DNA sequence: AGCACGCCGACT
DNA sequence: GTCGGCGTGCTC
């Protein structure tokens, strides 16, 4: 409606801030400017979620990133349609953090937003059409074509149609022009339905009314009255059985879930009568999906060395923001964490504890929950989105002042962090590979802590080179915990020479004599055995014994992996799968054999060798379900498994006194990783696995099977001197320009056409070489896997001088270069993937 | 990224 | 002629 004075409002407040830059979850490297309608002006806040139209028909949830008064010159800003938050879901600190992340990791802020917000906080939107009630089809002023008529026919049957419905009605994809024409002819209306996806779970509970709780006599009277009403009596009895109010009248307050009360077949109508008569009352309660847990246990008392470590950490925090706690496996880092967390929480600040994904379902979470009860939130990747929203909102409302979580929990809406702890900080899983943002959660957390003026504690038995280097340079404080808890001795290492055994014909199903002997010994004493098999870049495949055929993926340059359980060949890169052929597709031979040795094969071999032993396996396949991991751990803990075969995961969270033998099935596999970090990783892995052996009385035995027992790395690991190993490795890193002496950026160029991809990668190389910073540009090289999902890939590696200015300038220029290259017609469909600090 | 638009070949 | 293939450009 036009007012007498026109549309403009000249009051200074509104005139000054009438535009908002909105962050949208789309991969476009900028924010989008929208107009703030006057009626919404007072509600606009940085970090609030808003609904906007993006493009012709898309409706998106965005986050207000900035409010200003600069009307865009090049286009007419669209209005913000709706504000979803009275209290912003995202705080300004987070927005700063997002901006930092998008700049540091060379991605778009929308990609960060997409990763940060649980999808339950984004909205579903659907455009729908309805018939215009004021439109008279009989006397239409304009003629309708056949398709338009079809839509109108459909609308006579249904009150509303979604776009998809319309597509189906006409059987074509591009329906928008038709609908647009119908709108112009005023025959239909288009409306948007936006609903919040998140539905909090509400439970109906019942409890006794006050009179019956406070006065025991009235309850006795009630029983007399109910004597002739067995159905009602049965409900009352059951309630009292589950809620023993005589022991503690307080229990009545929480009541009992109505569904649970009725689950044994009691009728709802009897309960209704009881409620009507004022015996019970019903009430609704929001269910916390994580489960309400009261603190049960006091924190364990610290040992002397632990107390000392806490003091040292606090001492370093006086002048340094980050401290590395280097504590060998079993030295009791958790107690130290608990002590520090308690102190920070008491001071009124928040705490975040980051754990690697595979460690999160284990005892440590239970332990912490017993100490911190319901003020602790758990943020896990296996949680449903609803559960994530609950943790998010719990942090927002202050219900959770402490969160234990995986990598992505750094995005939770903390507003006053005092401490971030990163346990097992060396773990590679803190780095996100795909999709963008490709961030390293440990490094990002240190930045986050800086934004909060908080402290960061890194904990590891085998620190990453970066952290250890920073500690050795005095940038981080360094605290070492040496004594192993309960004084259990360090394990004894043995190298089992596979090559020698093979010559002497002692190899049985790829197991060495030594390993078999040690297993047999352990089984004889009713002790447990762990067998570790590194899986990365290594999986079983099928090969024809006659012609050498192996299953290849149709769209990637990789062999298909054999999955015995499903009798399938699968591609780990694109997910393609096919049934295992019964004969060789190339030559027809039926002699197909399994090559390589996955955990499945090892389990099979050991079953043959030790038929009396109870076997267990722990890998991606057996732990896929939410509680699969816990189940295996429980069984192992209860002694129902004698030999457990597993991947990486067995190095986490296992803390069982009866493990005395740990076997590393293929030690060479750990050494031969094609990466500058091979040595570091090997040291870490072997040490971590070995740490599972002999945790209590008995001295543990670690057997490493290898064809190169002379390899110098084994010697170093066996010595257990991390510092010496570190110093030797560093010499190489310095000589060949690798981290921590340089910063790495990896750029992958992808295209469906080999030649075009190669051309693009070379063009990129040429442009990057011109950037005026101290650097080395390597490549482009054909990717380790030449083709993924039908796209050929080429990799460039850039080694940058370790200075902030160099990195900033390089990333800035790189952004410009990529934009320019994408504008070249030939490179239009080339994909570039930038990975900063790849691991 | 999606998605609409536009220009071209295949086929009723 | 129409359909739908894919290359191109844009999203506030």
As a rounded value in angstroms, the CA-to-C1' distance for A15 and C12 is: 19
Write the CATH number for A797. Answer: 3.30.70.600
pLDDT tens by residue, A287-331: 654 445 566 566 678 889 999 999 999 999 999 999 999 987 667
The average pLDDT across A137-155 equals 80
The band of A126, judged by pLDDT with boundaries at 50, 70 and 90, is low
pLDDT tens by residue, A202-259: 778 889 888 888 777 888 888 888 888 888 888 888 888 888 787 777 888 888 888 8
Domain that holds residue A475: 304-482
pLDDT tens by residue, A525-549: 999 999 998 764 346 778 787 877 8
Task: Name the residue with higher pLDDT: A200 or A691.
Answer: A691
| Pair (A389, A460) in one structural domain | yes
pLDDT at A196 over 60: no
pLDDT score for A146: 77
Q: Where are the alpha helices (DSSP H) in A542-672?
A: 599-609, 628-637, 667-671
pLDDT score for A367: 86
Tokens of A299: 């924190």
| Domain assignment present for A183 | yes
Q: Which of A78, A104, A123 is the last residue of a domain?
A: A123
Please tell me the number of Cα atoms within 13 Å of A519 on its side-chain side. 26
Give the Cα separation of A323 and A459 in Å (integer): 9
Q: Which residues pair with A766 in a beta bridge?
A: none
| Domain assignment present for A6 | no
Instruction: Judge if the beta carbon of A26 is closer than 7 A to nucleic acid strand C.
Output: yes
Mean pLDDT of chain A: 85
Winning range, highest mean pLDDT, from A525-539, A620-634, A699-713: A699-713
Task: Name the residue with higher pLDDT: A625 or A706.
Answer: A706
pLDDT tens by residue, A396-411: 999 999 999 999 999 9
Question: Would residue A106 be called left, alpha or beta, if left means φ above 0 and alpha means ψ between -120 and 50 degrees?
Answer: left
Instruction: Judge if the beta carbon of A829 is closer than 7 A to nucleic acid strand C.
Output: yes
The nucleotide lying nearest A826 (C-alpha to C1') is: C7
Instruction: Judge if the beta carbon of A54 is closer than 7 A to nucleic acid strand C.
Output: yes
Q: Residue A121: how many CB atoms within 10 A of its CB? A: 22
Write the CA distances from A382 to A400, A422, A574, A628, integer angstroms. Answer: 19, 20, 22, 11
| Pair (A134, A253) in one structural domain | no
Query: Which protein residues have any CB–strand B distance under 7 A?
Result: A 26-28, 55-58, 173-174, 176-177, 831
pLDDT score for A441: 97
As a rounded value in angstroms, the CA-to-C1' distance for A822 and B8 is: 25
Give the Cα separation of A104 and A444 in Å (integer): 9
Q: Residue A391: how many CB atoms within 10 A of its CB? A: 24
Write the CATH number for A370. Answer: 3.40.50.300
pLDDT at A456 over 60: yes
| Domain assignment present for A655 | yes
Which positions on strand C lie below 7 Å from a protein C-beta? 4, 7-12
Instruction: Judge if the beta carbon of A465 is closer than 7 A to nucleic acid strand C.
Output: no
Instruction: Judge if the beta carbon of A66 is closer than 7 A to nucleic acid strand C.
Output: no
The band of A556, judged by pLDDT with boundaries at 50, 70 and 90, is confident
**DSSP letter, residue A485:** G
| Pair (A266, A168) in one structural domain | no
The average pLDDT across A65-93 equals 91
Q: Where are the alpha helices (DSSP H) in A638-753?
A: 667-671, 678-690, 712-719, 722-735
pLDDT at A616 over 50: yes
| Pair (A612, A692) in one structural domain | yes
The average pLDDT across A6-21 equals 59
The average pLDDT across A443-470 equals 97
Task: Identify the weakest region by mean pLDDT among A54-68, A119-133, A217-231, A336-350.
Answer: A119-133
As a rounded value in angstroms, the CA-to-C1' distance for A832 and C11 is: 21
Give residues 149-178 of chain A lying near strand C (Cβ < 7 A).
171-173
pLDDT score for A537: 39
Indicate the burial class of A581 (C-beta count within 10 angstroms; 0-12, 13-18, 19 or more): middle
Q: Which of A63, A93, A123 is the last residue of a domain?
A: A123
As a rounded value in angstroms, the CA-to-C1' distance for A20 and C11 is: 16
As a rounded value in angstroms, the CA-to-C1' distance for A165 and C5 is: 24
Cis peptide before A740 (omega within 30 of 0): yes
Tokens of A657: 């006194």
Q: For chain A, what is the domain count?
A: 7
The average pLDDT across A57-77 equals 90
Closest CA to A795 of A733, A744, A752, A747: A747
| Pair (A270, A341) in one structural domain | no
Q: Which of A595, A620, A636 is the last residue of a domain?
A: A595
The band of A11, judged by pLDDT with boundaries at 50, 70 and 90, is very low
Question: What proportions of chain A, in percent to the nearest 5, are helix, strand and coil?
Answer: 40, 25, 40
User: Do the beta carbons of residue A644 and residue A674 sit within 8 Å?
Assistant: no
| Pair (A258, A222) in one structural domain | yes
Give the Cα separation of A657 and A579 in Å (integer): 42
């Amino acid at each position: 409606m036009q007012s007498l004075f026109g549309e403009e409002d000249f009051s200074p407040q509104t005139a000054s801030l009438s535009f908002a830059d909105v962050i949208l979850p789309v991969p476009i490297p900028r924010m989008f400017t929208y107009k703030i309608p006057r009626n919404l002006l007072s509600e606009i806040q940085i970090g609030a979620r808003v609904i906007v139209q993006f493009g012709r028909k898309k409706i998106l949830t965005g986050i207000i990133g900035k409010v200003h008064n600069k009307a865009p010159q090049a286009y007419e800003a669209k209005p913000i349609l709706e504000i979803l938050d009275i209290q912003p879901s995202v705080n300004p600190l987070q927005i700063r953090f997002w901006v930092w992340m998008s700049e540091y990791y060379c991605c778009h802020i929308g990609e960060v937003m997409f990763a940060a917000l649980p999808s339950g906080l984004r909205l579903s939107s659907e455009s729908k059409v309805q018939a215009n009630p004021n439109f008279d089809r009989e006397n239409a002023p304009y003629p309708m074509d056949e398709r338009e008529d079809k839509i109108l026919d459909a609308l006579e049957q249904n009150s509303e149609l979604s776009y998809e419905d319309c597509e189906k009605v006409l059987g074509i994809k591009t329906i928008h022009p038709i609908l647009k024409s119908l709108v112009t002819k005023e025959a239909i209306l288009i409306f948007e339905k936006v609903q919040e996806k998140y539905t909090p779970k509400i439970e109906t509970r019942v409890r006794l009314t006050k009179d019956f709780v406070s006065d025991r006599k009235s309850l006795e009277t009630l029983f007399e009255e109910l004597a002739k009403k067995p159905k009602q009596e049965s409900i009352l009895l059951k309630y009292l059985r589950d809620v023993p109010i005589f022991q503690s009248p307080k229990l009545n307050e929480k009541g009992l879930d109505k569904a649970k009360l009725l689950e044994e077949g009691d009728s709802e109508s009897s309960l209704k009568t009881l409620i009507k008569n004022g015996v019970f009352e019903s009430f609704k309660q929001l269910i916390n999906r994580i489960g309400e847990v009261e603190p049960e246990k006091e924190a364990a008392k610290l040992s002397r060395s632990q107390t000392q470590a806490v003091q040292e950490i606090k001492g370093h925090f006086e002048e340094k923001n980050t401290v590395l706690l280097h504590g060998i496996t079993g030295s009791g880092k958790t107690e130290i964490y608990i002590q520090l967390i308690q102190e920070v929480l008491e001071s009124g600040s928040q705490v975040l504890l980051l754990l690697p994904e595979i460690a999160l379902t284990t005892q440590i979470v239970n332990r912490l929950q017993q100490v911190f009860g319901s003020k602790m939130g758990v943020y896990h990747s296996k949680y449903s989105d609803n559960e994530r929203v609950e943790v998010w909102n719990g942090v927002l409302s202050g219900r959770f002042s402490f969160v234990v979580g995986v990598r992505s929990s750094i995005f939770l809406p903390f507003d006053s962090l005092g401490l971030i702890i990163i346990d097992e900080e060396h773990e590679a899983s803190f780095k996100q590979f795909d999709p963008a943002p490709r961030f390293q959660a440990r490094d990002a957390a240190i930045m986050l802590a800086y934004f909060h003026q908080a402290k960061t504690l890194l904990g590891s038995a085998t620190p990453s080179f970066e952290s250890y280097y920073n500690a050795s340079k005095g940038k981080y404080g360094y605290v070492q915990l040496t004594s192993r808890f309960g004084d259990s001795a360090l394990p004894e290492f043995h190298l089992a020479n596979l090559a020698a055994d093979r010559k002497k014909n002692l190899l049985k199903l790829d197991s060495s004599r030594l390993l078999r002997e040690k297993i047999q010994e352990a089984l004889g004493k009713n002790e447990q055995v762990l067998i570790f098999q590194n899986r990365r870049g290594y999986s079983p495949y099928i090969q024809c014994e006659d012609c050498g055929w192996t299953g290849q993926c149709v769209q990637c340059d990789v062999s298909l992996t054999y999955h015995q359980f499903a009798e399938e060949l699968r591609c780990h890169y694109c997910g393609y799968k096919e049934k295992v052929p019964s004969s060789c597709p190339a030559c027809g031979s039926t002699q197909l054999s399994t090559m390589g040795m996955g955990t499945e094969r090892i389990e099979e071999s050991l079953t043959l060798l030790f038929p009396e032993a109870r076997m267990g396996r722990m890998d991606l396949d057996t732990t896929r379900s939410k509680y699969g991991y816990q189940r295996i751990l429980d069984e192992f803990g209860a002694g129902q498994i004698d030999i457990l075969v597993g991947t990486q995961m067995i190095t986490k969270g296992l803390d069982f006194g009866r493990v005395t033998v740990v076997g590393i099935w293929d030690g060479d596999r750990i050494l031969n990783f094609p990466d500058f970090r091979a040595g570091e990783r090997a040291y870490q892995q072997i040490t971590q696995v070995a740490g599972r052996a002999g945790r209590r009385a008995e001295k543990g035995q670690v057997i490493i099977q290898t064809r190169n027992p002379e390899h110098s790395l084994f010697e170093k690991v066996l010595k257990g001197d991390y510092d010496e190993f570190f110093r030797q490795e560093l010499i190489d890193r310095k000589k060949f320009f690798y981290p921590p002496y340089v910063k790495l950026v990896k750029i992958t160029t992808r295209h469906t056409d080999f030649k075009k991809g190669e051309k693009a990668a070379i063009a990129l190389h040429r442009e990057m070489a011109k950037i005026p910073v101290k650097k080395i540009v390597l490549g482009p090289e054909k990717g380790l896997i030449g083709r993924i999902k039908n796209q050929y890939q080429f990799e460039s590696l850039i080694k940058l001088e370790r200075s902030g200015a160099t990195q900033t300038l390089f990333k800035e220029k790189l952004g410009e270069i990529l934009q320019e290259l994408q504008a070249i017609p030939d490179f239009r469909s080339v994909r570039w993937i930038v990975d900063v600090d790849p691991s």
